Every structure is written in structure tokens, then in C-alpha cells.
């Protein structure tokens, strides 16, 4: 199966450790046209196809052919019947000699245009071993098992004839393969709307070497038999609805996904080439090593320097890259597609790889195409994913939440075990503050603050309770309109409205008895190191970096990816301690203070040049605060459990950092005493207390908060911190277990 020419490697070379390397070495050894001779090498290709059809799998489309529809489809490809007749005969002799095509179909094809050959040849090789299970098995996102060969394309259908300048009829053959994103379940090819698929395509000309290709010019003809000069050939990926033939948009992402651009799969100007193996595509995904990329490019791109630019077959190609293989990675169906018909039956889609020609007027015309069998694209409905609740169960859970919330509102003492409930009143607290702050804020550069700090401050002021704090999800955190979207942050939806804020209480049953990753980002350049005791295996590691006290280091080098084993019923409420760490503050990066600090100014300048968001959270603020023992505005950390200074943007390691690590466990509660945290310098909130107290809702909210009888649980609502129940300590001194433990256990059972 493997396309592996017998070739002696340079004795200086080690044996290739992967098929990718083999292919790269092979590719380097090839010289010019030899690679494209339809001789030995490509015979192998045909051999593969012949083998592949020994066990054709059934396909619905086989039995549902509709000549009228097919005629219509062919019209769309600008079919000229006479051309097609001619070409089909050629193709049949050369390419499809071994394919099982009925004669009748062939005649129809000659008369009306190409009849898509619907006998999709399922390749009964190892690649398909995974496809025969009845239900989808969950595979890790980066697992190499995500790569699997998808449905086979049809043979090549000709739409227009191609002639060389010698008047010779050229027969193209398109190859395509789906390498990721589709599986064969219950006799159907299934893809997921949210997941990427990968497709590669290439074309060759029958009996036509690469040298011949480059030495010729080409033309096709229009309906009136006028010659149309072909400037260059290209490959294009498109999709249509199987049922009605409507065009379906595809989108391509970069590896950055949400943070990067989205675009339609581009048209790739291409010269003849052959398809790399599935294994090569698999191993070539996401490589970053420059040398590897360069070697790989030899597989995918035509090297112009190696051929004379004035060769007639090549000199009209555009200046940018010419592809030997069109590789489409990270393709998805547009999010707007309807995967159901109004009748609620499932729509199906076909993918097409078209060989197209760019004419002198810069228009593209389709010369030939290959097509997948009908594909089912599963939408985002949880029912399409294993281990998800049905909509009934979800509705029931929602109902449960509502009831829980009501019970909380009705009770002065908190006894519930709700999964999730909401404090509208705290919303109001935050909104009220927000409103005051927005009206009267003087510094437009202040763009973030944490409304939880309002709550904290309020509670601190009134002594009614102590909230260990929490943060709010980035989606809910305040970003004033006009805040720039930057490299560092995710794209933010533009809106003229103030985001609404909510504080949600949420217990995460997944936490109990599970492991958790600690994430520490950007740790560097701190002042002193103190080793803590070796971390026992069954203990909990908390990471603390109160502003004044970044001083401990772990011998275990905790870093992102460090996994903490918890006791079976342990809950991560102890991660409350993180909250103190999270109560770091930030400065407006335009503040005068910051500008006066040369070191920080340098970092800011770097960020500005790189169009990055001010790195206030990661480094500037903390550093500055430590240095000057002051700060202006509060914010929260998001997405990471711990941010520590990263003064310079180069790589760093935990060794460089001085991370405060506490080893504690559920009995070691004193470590979690909020009193151990000096928050006397937190925030400028106190300056705003007056405004805050003027807020309309204030007294109402105050009453509501007090009605909780100092047993207020306010968890963080950031997804990271959502896992941590935000507890009020000392509220239930006689309890063996913290409230959170009870919740956790009951939820887990639930």
C-alpha cells in the first residue's frame, strides 16, 4: 500500500523514523518530471484503487439515482455533452477499466452529461478499522486517532475538455482523500459540525509527464466551440446539498481558531502532483519546526526555482505559491448550515474537489471534479454526543435549579443542595456599582474591574459576612466599549450595550474525586526562594501568591499540566485559597505611575509594538504593586489559576519563578483562614463606597444579603473557578464538613 520507491538512502542519513520522514526524503530524491511519469510510481496508485474496490460498502445514493437530477447537476458544471462523451470514453478505457459501471449508465452519461459514479469504494484497509462500530467513541482532541480516512471520492468526472497546444486531448485525474473528521457509522458517513475535517487533493494528466505539462499551453472550449485559453489550473473545494444541489459554505480556520481569521477554503493554483499517504498528512499536522516545514513544503508546493519560470505551462501561474497537493485543514461546514430539512429529516451534503481553469478574463471554469458520497453533518445538539443528557433531563435539571433558587430565597438558613442558583440581588449590587462607576469614572483607560470586589467590599464594610471572594467569567467581566481586541486576548463581540453581570452559584460535581490541572502562567523574576516540604501524594497543593508575599517555591515544580490527585470525596473548596491569590489588582497601563517605571515602560512598549494587550495581569501590575506597594483598580484573573509576573516575553520555566506553594488538606483548614490574608490595600473601592451606597437597590440588596444569615456562598463564576465553591468560613463552626463538601457529595450522588 505504501507508496515507497525502492531507493537507497544516503548512508549518512539515519533511517527515517516515520512515514512522514520517509516521504520527505523520498520527495527530496525525486527530480523534476520523473515524479509525475505515469510509470511505476503511479501504477501503485492505481493498484491501490483497484484493491480498494474489492469490497465496496453500500451507499444510499446507489439506490436513489435520479437521472433528471443528475442531468441538472451536470448542467451546473457547464457540461457540454459532446465533450463529455468523448472524454468519458477515454476515461473509461484508461482509468475506470476495473470499475464496475453499468453500460446503461454509461450511455446515459454520454447523452446527458456525467453520471456520477456512485459506487463509492470503501477502502477495506486498516484505516477503516475504526469505522465499523455502531456508536461514536470519544477520543481526545489531539489524539492521533482523530485522523482517519474518510469516505472515498468518486472517480474523476469531466466537465470540459482540456487541449494542449498540440491539439491533444488531456485527460485529468483528480485524487482526493479525507484524512480527518468523518466516520462511518450505521452505514452512513458522519461528520460533526463543530469539528474540523482535513482533506487533500491533487490532480494528474493521463499519460502526461511533468515535463510535458510544463512545456505545453492549454485551452478548453466554450459552448460555441470557441477556444478559451487556460492561464493556469487550480483546485477548489466546495460543498453542495445532496438533496437540492444548493451550495453550502465551508469555512477554514487557522490553528488559533476563535482568535484567528476565518475564510473560505481558498482556490489553490496547482500543477500535477500525487497524494501523500494518510500517514504523512497525519504526521504533518501542526508541525512547527522550521526545518520540518521546509521539507514538507517540498511535498506540497511546486518549487518554481527548480524549473524555468518561462516554461509555457507555468509562466501564467500567479506569483504566489503553486501547489502540487492542495491541503485543506481545519475545514468546517459553515455554522449557519441547516442540517435538517423542514420535514425534520436529515440533510446530506457532498464535498467536491474541482479541477478548475483560470481563463484570460480571470474567471474560473470547472474542468473536472470528484465527489464524496452524501455526508451527514451532526449539529451541536447534545443528543449527537455520547454521555449527554436528553433534553428532558436537561429541562428537569433546569427546573430543579429554579426550585432550588426559590427555596434559597425563602430560607434564612441555607440547607439546599441545588446545582445552581442565582442571586439577582448580587447582580443588582454589582450593576448599581457599575452604574455609578461608569457615570463618574474619570479615566477611560480603566477597562476592567471585578464586581465581586463590590460585594466583598460591601460585606467587609458591613461586617455582615465574609465572602472569600471569587471572580467572574471573562464573558461577564466588564470591558468598556471601545476596548481594543488584541493578540493576547480573544476576540470580543462588539456591542454598544453594557454587559450584564450575574453572579451564579454553581457546584461542579465533576470535581469530587477527580484530578485537576493546575495552571500557572508566566512566572518569572521574583525576589526570593523558600523551599516548602515535599508534597505528599495524597495532599492538595494550593498555590498562593498574595501580593506582599511571593516567596515560596515548590520542589515539585508545579506547572501547567501538573495533576493533583484528590481524595475520593475531597472537594476543591479548599481552593478557596486561590481566591486570595486571585485578588491581585491591576493598574491602568496608561497610569502615570506605570509610565514612570522604566522597566515596565519597556515591557509596555514591547506589547504595543506587538499589538498585544497590556500584560497587566500577568506582570505589570503585580510587579508594580510589589514595588510601590500600591494599586488603583481591582480585577480578577481569568482562565488561569495563577498568574505570576512574566517580565520578559521569552520562554520561561517554573525554575525561574518563586511560586508560593502551600501543602494542605481538608483537615488543615487554618491555612485557609481568610484572616491570614492582608487585604488592607485591596482596591480603591472604598473611595466609591459612597456612590455605591447611593445606588437605588442598595437597601434592598443589603437586606437580601443579610437575610442569608452570614451563610452566603458565592462561588466564582469563571469556568476555572466555578469549580471552587466560594465559602464563607466560620459560618458553621460545628459542622464536620464544610457546606461545600455536603453539596459536592450530594450533587455527585445526584
Does position 257 interact with DNA (CB under 7 A)? The reply is: yes
Measured from the CB atom, is 78 or 556 closer to DNA?
556
Interface residue with DNA among 129, 139, 602, 703 (CB under 7 A) is 139
Find all residues with CB under 8 Å of 31, minimum gap 6, and list them.
Answer: none
Interface residue with DNA among 94, 194, 240, 488 (CB under 7 A) is 194
Cα–Cα distance for residue pair 182/151, rounded to 1 Å? 7
Please choose, out of 103-111, 211-219, 334-342, 347-355, the segment that lies near DNA by the rule CB under 7 A: 334-342
Measured from the CB atom, is 127 or 722 closer to DNA?
722
**Three cell numbers at 240?**
453542495
Q: Are 181 and 198 in contact (CB under 8 A)?
A: yes
Cα–Cα distance for residue pair 750/744, rounded to 1 Å? 10
DSSP 5-29: ---PPPTTSPPPSSHHHHHHHHHHH
Measured from the CB atom, is 314 or 558 closer to DNA?
558
Does position 347 interact with DNA (CB under 7 A)? The reply is: no
Cα–Cα distance for residue pair 577/661, rounded to 1 Å? 11
Closest approach, Cβ 461 to DNA, in A, equals 26
Does position 330 interact with DNA (CB under 7 A)? The reply is: yes
The residues pairing with 182 across neighbouring beta strands, listed in sequence order, are: 191
Each residue 476-495 as x (binds DNA by CB under 7 A) or -, in order, gives x-------------xxxx--
Each residue 289-308 as x (binds DNA by CB under 7 A) or -, in order, gives x--x----------------
Please choose, out of 190-198, 452-460, 583-591, 603-611, the segment that lies near DNA by the rule CB under 7 A: 190-198
Does position 639 interact with DNA (CB under 7 A)? The reply is: yes
C-alpha distances in Å from residue 168, one per residue of 93, 164, 206: 17, 5, 12
H/E stretch holding 398 reads helix 391-410
Q: At what angle do helices 698-707 and 424-440 cross, to 10 degrees?
A: 150
By three-state DSSP, how is residue 199 classified? Answer: strand
Does position 717 interact with DNA (CB under 7 A)? The reply is: yes
Residues from 377 through 396 that contact DNA (CB under 7 A): 379-382, 385, 387-388, 391
Cα–Cα distance for residue pair 570/509, rounded to 1 Å? 11
Does position 475 interact with DNA (CB under 7 A)? The reply is: yes
Q: Are 620 and 456 in contact (CB under 8 A)?
A: no
Query: What is the distance between the terminal CA atoms of the chain, rounded to a whole angstrom?
Result: 52
Closest approach, Cβ 142 to DNA, in A, equals 4
The number of beta carbons lying within 10 Å of the beta carbon of residue 712 is 23
Closest of 21, 19, 25 to residue 7, by C-alpha: 25
Length of the chain: 750
Closest approach, Cβ 151 to DNA, in A, equals 17
Exposure letters 455-484 (e unless 16+ CB within 10 A, then b): bbbbbbeeebbbbbbbbbbbebbbbeeeee
Does position 537 interact with DNA (CB under 7 A)? The reply is: no
Does position 71 interact with DNA (CB under 7 A)? The reply is: no
Interface residue with DNA among 103, 134, 135, 140 (CB under 7 A) is 140
Please choose, out of 210-218, 458-466, 618-626, 716-724, the segment that lies near DNA by the rule CB under 7 A: 716-724
Q: Are 170 and 156 in contact (CB under 8 A)?
A: no
DSSP 205-248: ETT--HHHHHH--EEEE-TT--EEEEEEEEEEEEEEETTT--EE
Closest approach, Cβ 478 to DNA, in A, equals 12
Closest approach, Cβ 611 to DNA, in A, equals 15
Does position 285 interact with DNA (CB under 7 A)? The reply is: yes
Encode 475-522 in three state secondary structure.
CCCCCCCCCCCCCCCCCCCCCCCCCCCCCEEECCCCCCCCCEEECEEC
Does position 279 interact with DNA (CB under 7 A)? The reply is: no
Interface residue with DNA among 117, 582, 619, 720 (CB under 7 A) is 720
Closest approach, Cβ 293 to DNA, in A, equals 7
Interface residue with DNA among 127, 506, 623, 658 (CB under 7 A) is 506
Measured from the CB atom, is 225 or 289 closer to DNA?
289
Q: At what angle do helices 685-694 and 424-440 cross, to 10 degrees?
A: 110
Does position 718 interact with DNA (CB under 7 A)? The reply is: yes
Closest approach, Cβ 140 to DNA, in A, equals 3
Measured from the CB atom, is 288 or 537 closer to DNA?
288
Measured from the CB atom, is 166 or 561 closer to DNA?
561
Measured from the CB atom, is 161 or 191 closer to DNA?
191
Measured from the CB atom, is 269 or 645 closer to DNA?
645
Does position 138 interact with DNA (CB under 7 A)? The reply is: yes
Interface residue with DNA among 303, 412, 653, 735 (CB under 7 A) is 653
Please choose, out of 77-85, 115-123, 139-147, 158-166, the segment that lies near DNA by the rule CB under 7 A: 139-147
Measured from the CB atom, is 59 or 337 closer to DNA?
337
Each residue 217-246 as x (binds DNA by CB under 7 A) or -, in order, gives ------------------------------
Amino acid at each position: 500500500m505504501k507508496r515507497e520507491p525502492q531507493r537507497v538512502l544516503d548512508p549518512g542519513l539515519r533511517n527515517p523514523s516515520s512515514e512522514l520522514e520517509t516521504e520527505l526524503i523520498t520527495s527530496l530524491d525525486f527530480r523534476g518530471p520523473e515524479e509525475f511519469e505515469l510509470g511505476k510510481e503511479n501504477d501503485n496508485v492505481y493498484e491501490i484503487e483497484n484493491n480498494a474496490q474489492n469490497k465496496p460498502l453500500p451507499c444510499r445514493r446507489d439506490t436513489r439515482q435520479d437521472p433528471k437530477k443528475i442531468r441538472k447537476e451536470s448542467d451546473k458544471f457547464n457540461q457540454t455533452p459532446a465533450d463529455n462523451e468523448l472524454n468519458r470514453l477515454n476515461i473509461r478505457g484508461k482509468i475506470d477499466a476495473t470499475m464496475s459501471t453499468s453500460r446503461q449508465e454509461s450511455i446515459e452519461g454520454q447523452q446527458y452529461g456525467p453520471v456520477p459514479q456512485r459506487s463509492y469504494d470503501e477502502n477495506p484497509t486498516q484505516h477503516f478499522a475504526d469505522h465499523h462500530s455502531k456508536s461514536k467513541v470519544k477520543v481526545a482532541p489531539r489524539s492521533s486517532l482523530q485522523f482517519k480516512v474518510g469516505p472515498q471520492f468518486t472517480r474523476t468526472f469531466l466537465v470540459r475538455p482540456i487541449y494542449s497546444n498540440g491539439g491533444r486531448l488531456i485527460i485529468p485525474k483528480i485524487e482526493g482523500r479525507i484524512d480527518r473528521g468523518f466516520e462511518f457509522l450505521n452505514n452512513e458517513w458522519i461528520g460533526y459540525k463543530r469539528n474540523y475535517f482535513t482533506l487533500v487533493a491533487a490532480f494528474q494528466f493521463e499519460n502526461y509527464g511533468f515535463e510535458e505539462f510544463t512545456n505545453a499551453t492549454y485551452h478548453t472550449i466554450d459552448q460555441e466551440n470557441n477556444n478559451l485559453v487556460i492561464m493556469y489550473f487550480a483546485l477548489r473545494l466546495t460543498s453542495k446539498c445532496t438533496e437540492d444541489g444548493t451550495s453550502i459554505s465551508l469555512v477554514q480556520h487557522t490553528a488559533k481558531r476563535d482568535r484567528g481569521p476565518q475564510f473560505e477554503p481558498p482556490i489553490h493554483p496547482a500543477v500535477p502532483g500525487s497524494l501523500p499517504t494518510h500517514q504523512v498528512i497525519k504526521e504533518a499536522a501542526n508541525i512547527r519546526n522550521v526545518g520540518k516545514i521546509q521539507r514538507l513544503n517540498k511535498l506540497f508546493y511546486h518549487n518554481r526555482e527548480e524549473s524555468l519560470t518561462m516554461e509555457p505551462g507555468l509562466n501564467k501561474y500567479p506569483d504566489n505559491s503553486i501547489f502540487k497537493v492542495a491541503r485543506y485543514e481545519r475545514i468546517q461546514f459553515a455554522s449557519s448550515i441547516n442540517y435538517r430539512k423542514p420535514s425534520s429529516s436529515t440533510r446530506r451534503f457532498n464535498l467536491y474537489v474541482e479541477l478548475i481553469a483560470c481563463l484570460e478574463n480571470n474567471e474560473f471554469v470547472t474542468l473536472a471534479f470528484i465527489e464524496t458520497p452524501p455526508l451527514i453533518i451532526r449539529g451541536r445538539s447534545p443528543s449527537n454526543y455520547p454521555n449527554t443528557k436528553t433534553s428532558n433531563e436537561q429541562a428537569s435539571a433546569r427546573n430543579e435549579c429554579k426550585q432550588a433558587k426559590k427555596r434559597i430565597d425563602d430560607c434564612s438558613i441555607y440547607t439546599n443542595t441545588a446545582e445552581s442558583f442565582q442571586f439577582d440581588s448580587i447582580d443588582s449590587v454589582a450593576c448599581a456599582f457599575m452604574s455609578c462607576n461608569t457615570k463618574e469614572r474619570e479615566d477611560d483607560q480603566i477597562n476592567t474591574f471585578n464586581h465581586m470586589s463590590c460585594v466583598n467590599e460591601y460585606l467587609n464594610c458591613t461586617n455582615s459576612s465574609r465572602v472569600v471572594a471569587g471572580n467572574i467569567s471573562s464573558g461577564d467581566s466588564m470591558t468598556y466599549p471601545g476596548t481594543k481586541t488584541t493578540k493576547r486576548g480573544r476576540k470580543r463581540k462588539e456591542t454598544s450595550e453594557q454587559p450584564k453581570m450575574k453572579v451564579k452559584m454553581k457546584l461542579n460535581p465533576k470535581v469530587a474525586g477527580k484530578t485537576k490541572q493546575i495552571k500557572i502562567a508566566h512566572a518569572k523574576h521574583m525576589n526570593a526562594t523558600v523551599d516548602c516540604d515535599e508534597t505528599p501524594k495524597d495532599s492538595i497543593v494550593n498555590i498562593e501568591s498574595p501580593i506582599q508575599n511571593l516567596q515560596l517555591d515548590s520542589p515539585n515544580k508545579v506547572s501547567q499540566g501538573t495533576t493533583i490527585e484528590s481524595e475520593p470525596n475531597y472537594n476543591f473548596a479548599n481552593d478557596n485559597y486561590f481566591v486570595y491569590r486571585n485578588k491581585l489588582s491591576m493598574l491602568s497601563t496608561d497610569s502615570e505611575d506605570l509610565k514612570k517605571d522604566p522597566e515596565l515602560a519597556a515591557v509596555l512598549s514591547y506589547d504595543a509594538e506587538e499589538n498585544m494587550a497590556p500584560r497587566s495581569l500577568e506582570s505589570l501590575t503585580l510587579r508594580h504593586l510589589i514595588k510601590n506597594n500600591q494599586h488603583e483598580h481591582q480585577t480578577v484573573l481569568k482562565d488561569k489559576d495563577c498568574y505570576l509576573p512574566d517580565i520578559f516575553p521569552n520562554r520561561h520555566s517554573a525554575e525561574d519563578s518563586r511560586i508560593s506553594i502551600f501543602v494542605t488538606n481538608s483537615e488543615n483548614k487554618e491555612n485557609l483562614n481568610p484572616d491570614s490574608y492582608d487585604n488592607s490595600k485591596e482596591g480603591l473601592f472604598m473611595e466609591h463606597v459612597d456612590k455605591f451606597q447611593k445606588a437605588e437597590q442598595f437597601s434592598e440588596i443589603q437586606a437580601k444579603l443579610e437575610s442569608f444569615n452570614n451563610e452566603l456562598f458565592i462561588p466564582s463564576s469563571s469556568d476555572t473557578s466555578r469549580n471552587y465553591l466560594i465559602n464563607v468560613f466560620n459560618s458553621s463552626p460545628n459542622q464536620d464538613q464544610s457546606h461545600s463538601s455536603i453539596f459536592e457529595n450530594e450533587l455527585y450522588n445526584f
